[in-house]
Amino acid sequence: MCDASHSPAGTDPRHDADPAETAEWRDGLQSLVEASGADRAGYVLDNLLGHAATLGLRANSQTRTAYLNTIPADQEPPFPGNLAVEERIARINRWNALAMVVRANQAHGELGGHIASYASAADLFEVGFNHFFRAAGADGPGDLVYMQPHSAPGVYARAYLEGFLSDDDLAHFRQEITATARGLRGLSSYPHPWLMPDFWQFPTGSMGIGPINAIYQARFMRYLEHRSLVPGADRKVWGIFGDGEMDEPESIAALTLAAREKLDNLVFVVNCNLQRLDGPVRGNGRIIDELETLYAGAGWNVIKLVWGSDWDALLRRDTNGALARAFANTVDGQFQTFAANDGAFNRAHFFNQNPELAALVADWTDEAIDRLHRGGHDMVKIHAAYHRAAHHRGQPTVILAQTKKGFGMGTAGQGKMTTHQQKKLDDEALLAFRDRFALPISDADCLALKFYRPAEDSAELRHLQARRAALGGHIPRRQTQAPRLAPPAVEQWARFALSADGKEMSSTMAIVRMLTALLKDPQVGPRIVPIVADEARTFGMANLFRQIGIYSAQGQLYEPEDIGSVLYYREARDGQILEEGITEAGAISSWTAAGTSYSVNGLPMLPFYIYYSMFGFQRIGDLIWAAADQRTRGFLIGATSGRTTLGGEGLQHQDGSSHIMAAAVPNCRAYDPAYAYEVAVIVEYGMRRMLDEQRDEFFYLTVTNENLAQPDLPQDGAAAEGILRGMYRLRPARQQAAVRLLGAGPMLREAEMAAERLHAEYDVDAEVWSVTSFSELARDGREAERARALGLATAPDADWVRACLGGSDAPVVAATDYVRAVPEQIRAWVPAPYRTLGTDGFGRSDTRARLRDFFEVSADWIVLHALDSLGLQAQADTLRQKLGAKTRATPPWAQ
């Protein structure tokens, strides 16, 4: 149980060579505090520490403090509410949350759900709901609250008391499809805006995503203020998270950003119930100490909320510090064991470990010891911590609140190793829970798991509604609409692409030129948020540094080395570019904040996040999935894309898979354009759908760094529709097509060259189709197939692949710079023999020509498959010999 190594460095009393002298210094500091106040004492202490450094002394950094509350009892502000009523409200919510989960699992044991997490966090939520979480309304846009996902039942229980949810709603927890079939509302397992768009604001179900998104959301609020797009407001971002969640890299990845930018609009509440799913978070250590060191070291204001008010009398009585020493030498695994047992056990194993501790509770009953609360279960202490956090300036704040997992579940779950999985309680446990919280529920209603809602004129509901009215309304609630924003005509910002006249440029250069022009539009320009991780120069965006500036909350406190150049590195407080540094997770979090501004701030913004395409869906796919859930609107631009087009970078950088991952996201519209005019048509379409039509979708475009002669947009009218639907005929056959060649992205040019060679060398007539999106084609095909199966009416061209390729049985060969699974998405709807060529396997470093030959996607390989599919074996044999077929026994994906 005891481990002196957990005492703060240098403070272990066993290492004190002169205790009397140490006591004198302590007494002197205490006298200074009493005589001159805490501010003066702090100044003197800091001065002494600075002087110690000049003497070469190694002082304790004090990022770990005693295992006690940061806020002493005599510094707590008065509790402003009716404590007894608020405690009763919390108890009712505990019951309804528990009943919701247990009822669902009694009916269907496979549904799952969680009781213990909310049991530990209920009071943390209630104090926020009653006193701090401000709703959007006439007084402003309100606070934002990222909620611990496993506590969702408790949030539903609160909404039930508020009257937003009904008995039927609670009865359909985790039964969304069943509820819809009955004309009812189902409740999602965790916070999911996609499933409950008028309720949940932020998806937090994947551990780690909530904390990083909350930080960048708080930062984006400051960005909007500094750019004068929204008025300044004392608006907070609150995040209630779990201690186990802090092990996720994303949870702690942006802590220094929050401190560096002085985000005092941000408060984290970490529910330290000391347990994760299988066991203790830090069985042999103390997670609160570890997190204190982490957050304080990152520059946060740390408030430890460890012990409830019941402990205050014992701490006052403990003049020798016996309790503090015992706390310092007790690890979390033992604290969990204490939580799982009663007062008699805690007397025997904690207080009786030495005479000093035993004397403190000598006149206490075991029942009194059992009622000793941890800080996170004491509303007065929680209010004091929240109050200090809300009024702190210059730093973000984290509150480390110690709780008991499964609090109040008794022997059925409190502090048990298995409590996270506890989804059912027997009759005895249900009755014990009711009695533990003094709930006015009969035995019959208790055993029937009946939801309990007091009368409308009850003290509880009157108080609850009054508190929410004072805070502006109910929360969580999600705003679904914002003012429409009409994008400018495409000719105003992309004429160079529509009428390129053969000029050479890459598609990356094209989209940057379009972005540069759009930024000058008086309506849409200010709403655009260019985002990069750290590759703006690679993507040709350096001209934007001076034009619109890089956002910095501090402005620019230095003279940049390149200030004499036209494209110097300019940081500004009102800068528009978000240059995030080498953190794709951070950049996508900024993109999500910007892309949901229409809902969060009532202000539609249009983010363009431009990045190495390999480091998008593959690296941060979970964050992109959460952004989709959150109904983010914006553009993801996968630059330097394509496994053979990004030549020299090699295996880790060459993207051959992002389009297959993008295809799995339901509201992602993914395109792989070849030419600049295709990019322009897609960007205009995306802006119209997201800004004007307000569709909850986002667009993913892959662009390359390969310079190509750019043709004009075909004027036949069919090209624009085909670009958006996924394919259009770029080059018709001279007479009757013997073979159809489909080229996507950079492989379109290879398909065009293959068609020329087939005609010139083999007298084979081929037509060439540009495929801008295999995933859009597959989506159309699935929808048309389903409609036919259900006997529903469909448009003649509902299946766009058949509409384009029907009427001929000429073979089809498709080539992509991605894995073959991308073009394979449309096989079911190709009405002819179909072959796919792709870049399956690990990438290599070499020239584009050699890479395309290695992966067998070059014009030569397209020609070979065209000849083979036509049965022209003599001609194919000649080409096979040229390609060295006999030396290519091992396919590229096996090398």
CA distance 225 to 709: 43
What is the sign of the dihedral through the CA atoms of 465, 238, 534 and 224? Answer: positive
CA-wise closest residue to 251 among 609, 620, 7, 585: 585
CA distance 206 to 416: 24
Give the distance from CA 468 to its chain's centroid.
28
CA-wise closest residue to 327 among 801, 2, 608: 2
**Burial 573-601, CB ≥16 within 10 A → b, else e:** bebbbbbbeebbbbbbbbbbbbbbbbbbb
895 is in an annotated binding site: no
What type of residue sits at position 759? Answer: H
Tokens of 856: 């067998």
Strand order of the sheet with strand 528-532?
578-579, 528-532, 606-612, 635-639, 698-702, 668-671
Question: With contact defined as beta carbons under 8 Å apart, do 116 and 409 qualify?
Answer: yes
47 is in an annotated binding site: no
Strand order of the sheet with strand 739-744?
727-731, 766-771, 739-744, 812-815, 834-837
CA distance 419 to 439: 22
CB atoms within 10 A of CB 31: 11
What DSSP element (H or E) covers 267? strand 266-272
CB atoms within 10 A of CB 26: 10
Question: With contact defined as beta carbons under 8 Å apart, do 157 and 93 qualify?
Answer: yes
CA distance 312 to 744: 70
Question: With contact defined as beta carbons under 8 Å apart, do 787 and 794 qualify?
Answer: yes
- 3-class secondary structure, 320: coil
Residue 560 makes CB contacts below 8 A (sequence gap 6+) with: 568, 569, 570
Question: With contact defined as beta carbons under 8 Å apart, do 682 and 855 qualify?
Answer: no
Question: With contact defined as beta carbons under 8 Å apart, do 60 and 293 qualify?
Answer: no
CA-wise closest residue to 346 among 316, 377, 367, 319: 367
Classify burial at 206, counting beta carbons within 10 Å of its beta carbon; exposed 0-12, middle 13-18, buried 19 or more: middle
Find residue 572's DSSP bridge partners.
Answer: 551
CA distance 683 to 673: 11
CB atoms within 10 A of CB 443: 11
275 is in an annotated binding site: yes
No. of helices (H) and no. of strands (E), the chain: 36, 20
Strands, E assignment, 318-413: 397-402
Tokens of 174: 């985790």
What type of residue sits at position 519? Answer: L
Question: With contact defined as beta carbons under 8 Å apart, do 395 and 299 qualify?
Answer: yes
Q: How far is CA 18 from CA 13, 23, 298, 319, in A?
A: 10, 9, 34, 20
Question: With contact defined as beta carbons under 8 Å apart, do 118 and 175 qualify?
Answer: no
Find residue 608's DSSP bridge partners.
Answer: 530, 635
CB atoms within 10 A of CB 721: 12
Total length of the chain: 895
CA distance 123 to 131: 12
What DSSP element (H or E) covers 767? strand 766-771
Binding-site members are 243, 273, 275
Which residues sit in the known binding site for Mg(2+)?
243, 273, 275
